[in-house]
Chains A and B, each alone.
Chain A
Amino acid sequence: MKKIFYISALILMLSLVACAPSEVDDLFDESPAARLDNAVKNYTELLKSNGGRWLMEYFANPDEEGYNFIMTFHDDGSVDISTQNAYVNDGAFFTDRSLWEVVSDYGPVLSFNTYNNAFHVFSSPLSDGSGHEGDYEFMILGADENKIFLRGKKSRDKGTVIDMIMTRLSTDEAPTDEEYFTNLSDVRRAAFSDRINNYVLTTGSGKRYICNDVTSMLWSFYPEDGTLLDNGEYMNAIITTKGIRFMEPLAFITEYDENDVAAQNFEFQPDGSLLCIDDGVTKITGPALADLFHQTQLGWMLSTVEGEISGDFLTIYNGIVTEAKTKYKTTFNWLQLGYDPAKAMYRLYFKNGKYYGSIYVNHEIVNENTIKFSFDPNAEVAFDNNGQNHYNNLESMRAMVQLLCTGEYVLSADNVMVSNPMLMKSTSNPNNYVVLKF
């Protein structure tokens, strides 16, 4: 009986509360449907405005690099999409026209809803049904005049959040779509090198992470005092003409607290390095120059081009040429300081007439920018036959070895990302330098 009374009283109270006139003004002037309709109209206008040309930085999934598309949205509902990537038109530049719409769905959604040969390959199934799993419909999360923030709709529904950005592209920046992609190829080629390992990400506090697989844009990271196996992190990225953007913020950088902006967007700097524009301090550079010199996959070439060899190096080199002419009756062709993978050592490698020869030297890293060499003619690996012959017969060749193995050399480069060429200058006599290239 009591229970029935209480329940009746509760219903009565709730009813009174529910029926009380609302004294709270509506938060919005319009209904949700009208607001959504307005958002659809506004985003449609934004996309078409000022020539309607945008750069979409697109990620199909977390396991492959991002791809750039230039999209020009037309008033008539068509869109021209340009790209240059390995999956379209055999890697050559390509443009195609299809349809676009901003539709009401999960909020405003940008949809590319007819097939575009430049774009939809990332949504298509392969013959076994698998595929890139890429989106062709994008929730619009927000925008300003020059940026639109998107989220892949289907991938989100399947449990993967992929946020993307569209940036307005002016003709000043890229007169034509094809020029943009040509420029992008050049930037990409210059920005990184397949031959360099162990790029370095340095955080604001100075913590350093070793980065690899950068040219594929499938970056791996591990702390300098850790290993890839134990502490490895992976993140895919996209490269544009301005820099790179990781698909997600680099959350493994633990020094960020919840108020910080984690590093995700990096811009190229004049010295070739990448500076994080989210926190303004995190930086990506190439390895220390001495490390780079030490990296065994590189073969440094000692340039003998005028202006790239100086001081005693030039004098002695000219002496070798003269002496070879006198003693061997040959034309001395070139001299390199190169890495011999077979012996795993650096060598002075030369060609005199039709003869090739090697004189092997040891190198030692003094500090991150300084190296020094040593030579022991009695070591197990000191020469090959021609190397020994030239070392014994040419005084200038011995002088060159002596010069190289005297004192220390400081390394420097204009580009700290791909440090090629690199200047190797004697610490005791700055006039003695050579330019090294790989």
Chain B
Amino acid sequence: MKKYFKYISALALVAIAAMSLSSCGEKSLGETIFPDVTDELDPNSYTYQFDKWLKANYLDVYNLEFQYRLRDNETNMNYNLEPATLSNSIDLAVLAKYMWFDVYEEVSGSKEFVKMYGPRIIMLVGSPAINPQTGTIIVGLAEGGIKVTLLHVNSMDPNNIYALNSDYFHTMHHEFTHILHQTKSIPREFQLISLGRYDAINWQDRNEGVVHSLGFVTPYGSSEIREDFAEIAANFITKTDAEWARIWLEASRGYVTDGDEDSEELSNLRYYCFYYFENNDATSDDNKKYVEEYRVQQNEDGTYVYRNQYQKGNGKVTLNPEDGKYYDQDGVVCDKQGYVLDKDGNRIPIQVFEVEDKDGVDGVAILEQKINIVRNWFKEQWNLDLDAIRAAVQNRLTTFDSSTLESLRQQVYGVQ
């Protein structure tokens, strides 16, 4: 009985509370406390043309607010940040449309895809966000599938299309890929490929060639799975054929350092893909030396030599008056400077060899595998042809010149 009474009492308590609340509801709500806000643009505004262009090309079409005026409460307060210049904001607005939104429209056949899945806000920041502790630099951010922040805008050189490509267009496609995978997750098979080889702490100190050979397209891509995914997509789209040829080459190589990976700072280590034996003397590993790639020359038969370095004779060179030839102290034919000559009378180059790839990872195969997964994901999840996106971007890159930029700018400066 006592138990039931407790229930009845509790019920009464709730009833009293409910009645109390309902009795407060008689007062009408009245007018809104918020003042009338108009979104009409002021023709006398300094930025009227730009604002009108943004409204017509981003807000009305994609329901996207292009925030070129920085508000620090929308940024990470721990960073020192500066606003973007107005002129660079205008350039980046027209270029973002040209190299990003228009590309997706071209490939998907309508503006709907970007309107549906694109960001609602693009925010510009003039400076990069530099972490004073790690020295890492943030040039782009994607947040919750809603907002893309493009940083470092004030360093933009609008006349250097390849710098724009690597610094900004790449960031746009990178961040857009984040937005897409924040909507539909990264395939599990992708997540498993490089598991155990990511380095979230020291990625910025990793050697670019080394990460290529491990199957990452950039050191940043080697930081974590989602950055790997975004980097594969963004670099596949934006990197030129020549840049990709370089990545494939480096991915196929072996790397070695003459430093100590266990005790030295990663950023201080130098990595090599080539070695040679001093004076071509391969009788001892003590003679083995590493050499930078730019000092190496590839022969027509695919072998390598040390550029402008030749095998020297042993000891003092003496002239034999009988045959008019020079000999070293071992009786080997040399030239007057002491370089050993072959049977045709030519100096013998120092042979260079490729470092054996011992990391146990086929970088080329892994990169191909990742690209294929991303390609399929775009097709299956988004009905988008990644190769077509790349082709469209590359076409715009190769045909871009000063007149392209001028005509894009004219879209803004010509607004009436």
Contacts and interface: CB of A to CB of B under 8 A. Distances in A.
Contacts of B20: 11-12, 14-16, 18-19
Contacts, number: 130
Contact of B69 (A111, A128, A131): A111
Contact of A114 (B77, B81, B86): B86
Interface stretch (A152-160, A189-197, A398-406): A152-160
Interface residues of B, number: 45
A8 B154 contact: no
B13 A125 contact: no
Contacts of B79: 125, 129
B13 A7 contact: yes
Interface in B55-98: 68-73, 77, 79-86, 89
- Which of A18, A32, A37, A113 has the largest count of B CB atoms less than 10 A from its CB? A113
A98 interface: yes
B46 interface: yes
B86 A99 contact: yes
Contact of A130 (B23, B35, B80, B89): B80
Nearest to B35: A37
Interface in B1-39: 5-6, 9-10, 12-13, 16-17, 19-21, 23-24, 33-35
Contacts of A127: 130
Contacts of B23: 15, 19
B128 interface: yes
Q: Secondary structure at chain B's binding surface: helix, strand, loop or mixed?
A: loop
Interface string B122-139: 000011111110010000
A157 B75 CA distance: 12
Interface in B130-156: 130-132, 135, 154
Q: Secondary structure at chain A's binding surface: helix, strand, loop or mixed?
A: mixed
Given A15-B16, A31-B33, A98-B86, A129 B132 contact: yes
- Which of B5, B17, B129 has the largest count of A CB atoms less than 10 A from its CB? B17
A120 interface: yes
A430 B21 CA distance: 94
Given A115-B83, A123-B81, A129-B79, A19 B24 contact: yes
A12 to B, nearest CB: 6
A77 B130 CA distance: 30
B45 interface: yes
Interface residues of A, number: 49
B183 interface: no
A1 interface: yes
A124 interface: yes
Nearest to B67: A113
Interface in A1-49: 1, 4, 7-8, 11-12, 14-16, 18-19, 31-34, 37
A335 interface: no
A114 B80 contact: no
18 contacts: A1-B5, A1-B9, A8-B16, A12-B16, A15-B24, A34-B34, A37-B35, A74-B46, A98-B85, A114-B68, A115-B84, A123-B81, A123-B82, A124-B80, A124-B126, A128-B135, A129-B79, A154-B77
Interface of B: 5-6, 9-10, 12-13, 16-17, 19-21, 23-24, 33-35, 44-47, 68-73, 77, 79-86, 89, 126-132, 135, 154
Interface of A: 1, 4, 7-8, 11-12, 14-16, 18-19, 31-34, 37, 74-78, 98-99, 101, 103, 105, 111-115, 120, 123-133, 136-137, 153-154, 157-158
